[in-house]
Structure 1
Amino acid sequence: MRLAAVFTFVLSCGFVFSRAFEQRRLVAPDKTQHVIGGGASSAQHRRPLPITLAHPEDGGFQTGFVAFGDSYSAGIGTGFHGKEDDCRRGLGAHAELIRADLEASQGGPNSTAFQFLSCTGATTRELISGGPDSQVDAFNASLPADFALLSVGGNDLGFFAVMNACVFRFYNFYSGTCAAALADARAQIEGDEFEERLRVAAAEVLDAVRWEKRPWFSITVTGYARFFDDATDACDDMSFGVWWDGPKLTRGLRAEMNAMVLAVNAKVRRTVDAVNARFTRDKLVFVDYDAAFDGHRFCEEGVAEPDYGRADTWFFLVGGRDNARNGTAVHHQQSRHASSDLEILAPNSVLVDPSSCLGPAQRSGDWGELALCYMTMAKARDPSLRLAAAAAAHGNLAAENSMWYVPTYYGKTFHPRSRGHEAIRDKIYEVWRGLE
């Protein structure tokens, strides 16, 4: 790895961002100091570098970056201003946290050109050029872009199908068997199609920024974290199923689902290595943040699942609250549940047509749309179905009377909460710092 020519990150209650002098038009080094991640309260601990990233030719932006990928990159469920956008991008996403750190280091708002292109439901097909939702095509390479963030793979390799069949059973008995879903995921992980598309996507991003003229540009690719503690038997009789008497979170199931995540990470890492092998200097950086989630997964020792009140669990449950720290939550979905325009969305709600919802939901790739459609279809096929006790007790089907809101309530499950995104950001900084 030779990203020293790109940026230097130094940990001291924050991270210092810099680039080699010869790669940018730099103001005299005694004029500016830039620190990433340090708030006003930690100013005395900073170790800034005397370097500026000013680009007068770029409309005042000092630096910039772009975020590509799926819902794990978009930060679904971590808050939004006003109305949530169609891609369910969250204010607590690690890309947003990095943007805020960069802006603080560069002198304030609007100093960083940030293109947030990540979208819930995205696969590698939505990354590469040519499609109607192509993120690469939406990328404006005329804006400053010094690095990219990328998270993708879970939708390509069958995360939702496994969670539906093995854990939640949104479509009840018609969800298919857990064994079949796991076998299909393993087959997709072992295949070559995902790696080929990810290689194409990386090449297209590098070509878009004209990497040969911007040698410091790199793509930081993040993996995923295991969902469960699989070392304890205490969770064996617990369930996340949405219908009464749902599947149990046995130790064997938890171990298999964790193994799937590790296999996806290994596949992404192999692809990163394959792309880098084509260059004399590495262009991609893989960040494995799985270990940072130790102690913060589902089914930790002493936790009775589903535990909606445990802020130390860094993944969302269906309809669960975020765990943003005080002062960081701008607008969270759960905060709207007290308003008078809410209704309890039953699985036979008129908002969802069980005869026609599946096609659009599958095309969207949005886990929330799929979950809600499957539940509605299940209820239509068997009106006697009852919600699980936990779902009823925690109001997990409360939702606003509009479809833009409902899917997030379901779709954010098994995605990182705000503190999880903080850990992802910190791991990215740690890896960058090690590349100096």
Structure 2
Amino acid sequence: MNHHRMASGASSLLLAAACTLAGPATAEPARGAPALEYVALGDSYSAGVGAGGYLSAGASCLRSSRSYPALWAAAHAPSGFGFTACNGARTSDVMASQLGPLSPLTGLVSITAGGSDAGFSKVMATCVLPGRTACLSAVAAARSFVDGTLPGDLDRLYSAIRSKAPAARVVVLGYPRFYRLNGSCSGGLQDVERSALNAAVDRLNTVIATRAAGHGFTFADVRGAFLGHEICSSSPWLRSVDWLNPVDSYHPTAPGQALGYLPVLAGAM
């Protein structure tokens, strides 16, 4: 899926730690915990699009040093870290080009996938233009894909992951709702469209959670972590539409990665 600030002293310290790859206190490794190989798969939400600090390796994928996988790896020092998540990746892209680091020695896999398959970036591009009918029609088409086609795509991907990493704990992370309704936004979409987009994200998460459970994977829901930090809230962790850097639009900021996604991954361990 192809996003504004911290006020308290504790949050500022956490963000500063994230930007130096130390990670917040919630991500401290357990003492005596054995090192494991960690592989981070998925789309732009796992790559860290919108967070800045992009790595030179695989530049087109926009992998960020401030992404939750990079922060977790920096805090826990796994014996191996395969970071193959990539901007715009669909489930078929993950299968075709991201599974190389997986092996019987892999101990942890994290992944976000499904949003790009459903075409959420195109949906958002449609909805930011004037015209409620076109927006709601695009949302309905995405929901139809999520209900009809995505379950099979996820099953094929999850089966491939388990085949290549039979001993790994697999954590499938979901997506946050985009908007706080009745929030502080004075223009742009109306709450009718915002509500429809949030409902579509909820449906996407439900389908992902159901298929993850069917493969024995852990679903990690980030909606609670982002509650009060959606677009149109007083302290958003998601970027709104960015006309100068469109790819960053509707993606988590550095605080969204460090204070939203990272603690949810840590809590799922």
For the criterion TM > 0.5, the same-fold answer is yes
Amino acid aligned to 1:223: G
User: Does 1:124 pair with 2:75?
Assistant: no
Q: Answer with 1 or 2: which has the greater Rg.
A: 1
Residue 264 of structure 1 corresponds to 204
Find runs of 4+ consecutive structure 1 residues off by over 3 angstroms: 36-39, 46-49, 81-84
Contact 1:158/1:184 (<8 A) preserved: no
Secondary structure in 2 aligned to 1:86?
helix
> Matched residues, percent identical?
27
Amino acid aligned to 2:231: F
Deviations 1:281-300 (A, max 9, x none): xxx10000101112211122
Question: In 2, Cα distance between the equivalents of 1:161 and 1:223?
Answer: 19
Residue 74 of structure 1 corresponds to 47
Secondary structure in 2 aligned to 1:118?
coil
Question: In 1, Cα distance between the equivalents of 2:24 and 2:145?
Answer: 42
Match of 1:141 among 100, 103, 120: 103
Contact 2:48/2:68 (<8 A) preserved: yes
Contact 1:77/1:412 (<8 A) preserved: yes
TM-score by length of 2: 0.82
- Higher fraction of helix: 2
User: Does 1:184 pair with 2:141?
Assistant: yes
**Residues 193-272 of structure 1: pairs in structure 2 closer than 5 A:** 193-209=149-165, 211=166, 214=167, 217-232=168-183, 235=185, 237-239=186-188, 249-272=189-212
Contact 1:315/1:420 (<8 A) preserved: yes
Question: In 2, Cα distance between the equivalents of 1:38 and 1:417?
Answer: 15
Gaps of 5+ in 2: 1-21
Question: In 2, Cα distance between the equivalents of 1:287 and 1:63?
Answer: 20
Contact 2:39/2:102 (<8 A) preserved: no
Deviations 1:236-280 (A, max 9, x none): x502xxxxxxxxx2111111111011010001011112223xxxx
> Relative CO higher for 1 or 2, CA cutoff 8 Å, sep ≥ 6?
2
1:431 positional shift:
2.8
The number of aligned residues is 245
Question: In 2, Cα distance between the equivalents of 1:154 and 1:117?
Answer: 17
1:83 positional shift:
7.5
Question: In 1, Cα distance between the equivalents of 2:219 and 2:246?
Answer: 29
1:314 positional shift:
0.5
TM-score by length of 1: 0.52
1:317 positional shift:
3.3
Residue 112 of structure 1 corresponds to 79
1:80 positional shift:
2.3
Question: In 1, Cα distance between the equivalents of 2:137 and 2:56?
Answer: 41
User: Does 1:298 pair with 2:223?
Assistant: no
